[in-house]
Amino acid sequence: MLWNFTPEPLELRRSSDGSAAVSGRFKYNVPAVLSDGGPTGRPRKEVIAARAFAYRVEDMSEDIHLLVGHDYGKPLASRGAGTLKLVDSDDALSFSATLTPEIQRTTWGADFLAAAAAGLVGGISPGFRIPPKRAVPQAEKVENEDPKLGTAIIRTVLAMKATRGWPA
């Protein structure tokens, strides 16, 4: 799982109509450590390049969901329902979601809001797949880390096909 902690926390707001709004950003070009390499292996890191999500995000016919813990049984919002908005820029993929009163009454909705209000939810973890080479010839590159910085193998994702969920 690729987890992106942002310098700014997720923002949570309550509206007079009973809905709640949560917004945040998945910053690009931030290395995530996937593995320390164990006792004999090399560390592995992953970087999501700027606008790597464009392959899917720009296609407005694609529904994308904000989920709790990568669980499709725990949806918070979706683009198809009009409760999730995504904005792609050179530095981050930003999202804003409206959690309806009905979602807030679910156990996972209430738990998410309580954890977010307590400052315990600090980022998002997007689900994604690398598109086939026939669709995107160079969707990723793998290279060695600069020896001055370490010995990791770094995979940079240049284009991805986001799975339907954006877990919070």
- Its domain, for residue 27, covers 4-167
Q: What distances in angstroms separate CA 166 from CA 17, 41, 64, 145, 162, one per listed residue?
A: 25, 31, 7, 28, 8
- Residue type, position 49, single letter: A
The C-alpha atoms of residue 34 and residue 4 are separated, in whole angstroms, by 12
Q: What distances in angstroms separate CA 164 from CA 67, 151, 154, one per listed residue?
A: 9, 34, 25
Sorted by sequence, the CB contacts under 8 Å of residue 117 that are 6+ apart come out as 12
The C-alpha atoms of residue 12 and residue 76 are separated, in whole angstroms, by 13
**What's the domain count of the chain?**
1
pLDDT tens-place values along the chain, 168 residues long: 344 444 457 888 988 888 899 998 888 998 888 899 888 889 999 999 999 988 778 888 888 899 998 888 999 999 999 999 999 999 999 999 999 999 999 999 999 999 988 888 877 777 788 888 888 889 999 999 999 999 999 999 998 875 544 444
